[in-house]
Amino acid sequence: MVMMTDLPFDVEKKILARVPKKSPVQWQTACKKWYALLQDQLAEKHLAQAGREFILLLNTSVYSTIINLQGVHNNVVPSMEFGGKLGSLQDSNDLKIHDIFYCKGMILCTRVGNRMLVVVCNPSNGETRYVEPRTTYSENDLYALGYKGSKSSCINSYKILRYCRYFNMQLGRAVSEFELYDFMSDSWRVLDVDNHDWDISARGVSVKGNTYWVAEKNDDQFILSFDFTRERFGFLPLPYESVDPVDIRNDEHEDTAVLSVVRDEQLSVLHQYLHMFSLEMKIWVSNKIDTKRCRGASSW
């Protein structure tokens, strides 16, 4: 009988490549050697053979799902495994989740109900932090989670950005407000942002600690970024030429852009251009992004 400890290193990696990496804490309890292997950077390349794990918001609860697209080009039917409720939120039955944001293994959840609450959890070790609001919040507020520096070493290196846009009756126009929560100081503060007359309509994505959104100003779309280290916004052009806003208002065309993260934390843009003669869809993947300046540069 072959014992688990007698297996060759390459065989162990192949076995782990076919086992969903649901919870490193469970692996640590079952087998310390395999837990260490899961953390090994070399093994990560082999683990790519397994299905990708996604976070799913369903009926105000957060679940894990695994989607395996291996072999889809060889007529192999994709598989989807619906996991259970995230372990760090299992005991929060009264916590009704309104929205979620993912950043480097950490998940930010906003609660709905009579009392607004922000929850940040780490599903791998069960660590959970509850953040009280500074003022009265709205379900329409957008949140982003990021970290300062080049590495997310611990939860204290993370920050939360809150974006609120509402119509000011006294000014007669829409205004935006930004707040930043620092886990290190356990406090909120208001950000002084100049010329913030842009509009963000959907949640952003996190790439290497910074957050990116598709934003709009004067009918022009662009990529808005926020650097959590420098605590400032930046602007990047979209990798394609936008459709004339007049055509969109006349329902002659539809121009849709969605951001995502692929490969080794590379920003991508899914662009769909619809009109009566075309259903064209393109996916752009960034090669390099420079956000050190307000007007950043990028290559796709």
Q: Which helix or strand (DSSP H or E) is residue 97 part of?
A: strand 97-103
- What tens digit of pLDDT does each residue of 24-39 get? 555 555 566 656 665 5
Q: Is 272 helix (H, G, I), strand (E, B) or coil?
A: strand
Distances (CA, A) of 188 to 28, 41, 166, 229: 36, 36, 20, 16
Residue 50 DSSP one-character state: S
> Rounded to 5 degrees, what are φ and ψ at 74?
-110, 30
Instruction: Read off the tokens for 136.
Output: 């009265």
Distances (CA, A) of 251 to 105, 219, 220, 248, 276: 40, 15, 17, 5, 10
Residue 218 has a CB neighbour count (10 Å cut-off) of 8
pTM, two decimal places: 0.73
If we measure between CA atoms, which residue out of 212, 228, 214 comes closest to residue 180? Answer: 228
Identity of residue 175: V
- What tens digit of pLDDT does each residue of 221-262 get? 899 999 999 999 998 989 887 766 555 555 556 778 889 888
Domain boundaries, given as residue ranges, for the chain: 1-44, 52-197, 201-300
Which pLDDT band, with edges at 50, 70 and 90, does 162 fall under? very high
Pairing of strands 79-85, 61-68: antiparallel
User: How far apart, in Å, do the first and last CA atoms of the chain sit?
Assistant: 53
* pLDDT, position 47: 47
Identity of residue 210: N
Please work out, in degrees rounded to the nearest 5, the angle formed at the alpha carbon of residue 100 by the alpha carbons of 240 and 266.
35
- What tens digit of pLDDT does each residue of 55-104 get? 666 666 666 666 676 666 667 677 667 666 665 554 555 566 778 888 88
* pLDDT, position 41: 46
